[in-house]
Amino acid sequence: MGDEAAEYYDRMLVDAEWGEAFCLTLVRGLDESALFTAFGGDPAATMSPADLAQVLDGFRYGDEPATLVVATVGDWRVGIEINGSQGNRPEVLRRAAAAGDGAAVSVFRDVNGRSELTYVTGDQVQVVIDHMRPDKRSGTSPEVLNALMAGLPFGYEDDVIPEAAGLALAERITGVRLPFDLLEQDLPGAVLTVVPDDLVPEGGRGLAALDHPFIQRMLAAPIRENVPAMVAYRTRLIAEDAGLLGEPVIAEVLTALDEERTPGPEVRVRLRELHERLAADLPRLNAVHDVAAAAFDGEDPAERFGTTYTIRDTDRSLQAVVLRRCALRALPPAARIAKPVDPAPVTATPRTAANSSAYEVVAKEFAAWRPEKQRTVTRWLARRAFEVAGLDTLEWARPALDALDRGDPLPFPDRRAVFRLISAAALVTATTGLPLDQLENRLSDHQRAELRERIDRAPMAVITIFNTAHPDPAKALADTFTTALETFDGRTEDLITELRAAFC
């Protein structure tokens, strides 16, 4: 028998128009104004849902500012973000908890399939739980909610949407049930000024890497006058970590940055030549990309702090993150905040999809392609996601992939129908021909491992195929790439190499 609360929230999310991407945050012991303030909103500038919708209509798709509406359920305030994520950030949750009675919990899902519950008490994130893989946790006390999690159907167990299990866990934590018509109420809302990141990530507090005198000086004075020095130091960290210090053009860039001057125009050409020479070495290629971004000013000063390269050394990585946050704190917000414009068709990939460093590697190529090619690549990505997840050979998947190739609508009544097909029980039966309860010891360890991998990757593959249907080809490509990458389980280079071999 399933959990009653999880089944309740499953029905709620299926019926709700906002169920695809949302963040619900619950805090007790504060009033409505204090919750708006904790999220970066102005309590004096709240408005009705209709007025808030009218404000958002003035922004291009993908450039809308963060917003919050607030409900009251019992003694708890509920912050609601549709397609938002501020309540999933430790900086915001800690502020909200501090304004209330010291605890806050949020349930979050985005369009790319990221799905988490975060629980904060005092000044620390106690635990972050992946709804699809509840054994995947982080925080200072990963086991703190173990007793309350018992029996909840995470990971599409019992055909229940994973976020429904998260909401049921939030109900057990708070003791309140969210009303079924939560978003149909006349709730006050506000546009948010995004709360800045903490200069030091929570996991980096007290680590020796931050005792370096230069890092300490930048933390003490995160001001615009210090940004050039931050650029120079961080760029050297990237070059050192990637083993590029022996490249003459890299050394020339680092010298110019140390001297706070822009390298000569010939350096662009030499960086491009180095980029081409390293084409088969994706990590170092990414490092050159970030060094080049740091070397030359663009329209947005924040672009000099590119994150395409993933720094491997933990001390360097922490220092680089802190310097980037210090710089973004120092730079004028006006350079980084989207402005309202007259509504217009989307013609390029929205910035919201570019948060992944892997996406930044291919973003310019994607944007340069014609819509027809973007659609072709999008369909290829979805098929590869199904293949890597081991779903492409299943009986129900073949007609879907054929429809995808033809550009026809997917042959599913709704998403929930597909997720029933990828429950653990359904995948076991489809793969082995046996019901889950009859499997017993009939599989080898290797076969069990393969089946477990298929079960883990299946949700992201399904999200990938649905992402192809977005009416804007660029948006469809961006979202499909991001979720297809999840099925490759960290093998970023493999996917990009395959894609370029097929289409570039």
In tens, the pLDDT along 108-163 reads 998 767 899 999 998 899 999 999 889 889 899 999 999 999 999 998 887 888 99
| pLDDT score, position 239 | 96
| pLDDT score, position 451 | 64
Among 289, 311, 335, which residue terminates a domain? 335
| pLDDT score, position 345 | 32
| pLDDT score, position 215 | 96
CB atoms within 10 A of CB 334: 7
Please give the mean pLDDT across all residues of the chain: 85
Residue 31 falls inside a structural domain: yes
pLDDT tier at 21 (50, 70, 90 boundaries)? confident
| pLDDT score, position 111 | 73
CA dihedral of residues 72, 74, 79, 82 (deg, nearest 10): -80
Query: What is the token pair recorded at 420?
Result: 């029933």
**Same domain? 182 vs 225:** no
| pLDDT score, position 213 | 96
If one compares 205 and 489, the residue with the highest pLDDT of the two is 205
**Same domain? 359 vs 310:** no
**Same domain? 264 vs 306:** yes
**Same domain? 264 vs 165:** no
Residue 266 falls inside a structural domain: yes
**Same domain? 187 vs 67:** yes
Beta 76-82 vs 115-121: how paired, if at all? unpaired
Pick from 288, 360, 310: nearest CA to 490: 310
If one compares 469 and 354, the residue with the highest pLDDT of the two is 469
Read off the pLDDT of each residue in 427-452 and give the average, rounded to a whole number: 58
Residues 366-409 pLDDT 10s? 888 999 999 999 999 999 988 888 888 788 888 888 888 888 88
| pLDDT score, position 152 | 95
| pLDDT score, position 419 | 67
Read off the pLDDT of each residue in 461-481 and give the average, rounded to a whole number: 87
pLDDT tier at 168 (50, 70, 90 boundaries)? very high
Identify the top-confidence range among 127-141, 229-243, 262-276. 229-243
Is residue 353 scored above 90 in pLDDT?
no
Read off the pLDDT of each residue in 214-230 and give the average, rounded to a whole number: 95
**Whole-Å CA distances, 76 to 35, 126, 166, 174, 309:** 11, 20, 17, 8, 42
| pLDDT score, position 26 | 98
Residue 479 falls inside a structural domain: yes
Is residue 343 scored above 60 in pLDDT?
no
Is residue 2 scored above 70 in pLDDT?
no
**Same domain? 140 vs 207:** no
Residue 345 falls inside a structural domain: no
Residue 171 falls inside a structural domain: yes
**Same domain? 399 vs 460:** yes
Is residue 338 scored above 60 in pLDDT?
no
What is the share, in percent, of the chain residues with pLDDT greater than 90?
48
**Same domain? 182 vs 85:** yes
Residue 196 falls inside a structural domain: no
Specify burial of residue 457 (Cβ count, 10 A radius: 0-12, 13-18, 19+).
Answer: buried
| pLDDT score, position 504 | 78
Read off the pLDDT of each residue in 445-455 and give the average, rounded to a whole number: 64
**Whole-Å CA distances, 226 to 233, 256, 258, 358:** 11, 16, 12, 29
| pLDDT score, position 244 | 96
| pLDDT score, position 339 | 40
**Whole-Å CA distances, 402 to 79, 241, 356, 397:** 42, 45, 29, 9
- Alpha-carbon distance of 471 to 259, in angstroms, equals 48
Beta carbons within 8 Å of 466's beta carbon, 6+ residues apart = 410, 415, 418
CA dihedral of residues 436, 440, 445, 448 (deg, nearest 10): 0
Let me know: does 83 contact 19? Beta carbons within 8 Å: no
Residue 340 falls inside a structural domain: no
- Alpha-carbon distance of 428 to 399, in angstroms, equals 20
Among 308, 335, 362, which residue terminates a domain? 335
Among 191, 219, 235, which residue terminates a domain? 191
**Same domain? 184 vs 206:** no
**Same domain? 157 vs 235:** no
| pLDDT score, position 449 | 62
Q: Which amino acid is at 54?
A: Q
| pLDDT score, position 25 | 98
Pick from 342, 32, 373, 313: nearest CA to 190: 32
Residues 169-213 pLDDT 10s? 999 999 999 999 888 888 999 999 989 888 998 778 889 999 999
**Same domain? 206 vs 187:** no
| pLDDT score, position 460 | 81
| pLDDT score, position 70 | 97
Let me know: does 9 contact 67? Beta carbons within 8 Å: no
pLDDT tier at 18 (50, 70, 90 boundaries)? confident
pLDDT tier at 439 (50, 70, 90 boundaries)? low
| pLDDT score, position 16 | 80
- Alpha-carbon distance of 82 to 147, in angstroms, equals 30
Structurally, the chain folds into a number of domains equal to: 3
Is residue 228 scored above 70 in pLDDT?
yes
**Whole-Å CA distances, 322 to 116, 233, 316, 392:** 24, 11, 10, 43
pLDDT tier at 438 (50, 70, 90 boundaries)? low
Let me know: does 475 contact 353? Beta carbons within 8 Å: yes
pLDDT tier at 443 (50, 70, 90 boundaries)? low
pLDDT tier at 484 (50, 70, 90 boundaries)? confident
Is residue 51 scored above 50 in pLDDT?
yes
Q: Which amino acid is at 221?
A: A
**Same domain? 163 vs 273:** no
- Alpha-carbon distance of 126 to 239, in angstroms, equals 35
Residue 417 falls inside a structural domain: yes
Read off the pLDDT of each residue in 358-367 and give the average, rounded to a whole number: 77
Is residue 336 scored above 90 in pLDDT?
no
For residue 43, the enclosing domain spans 4-191
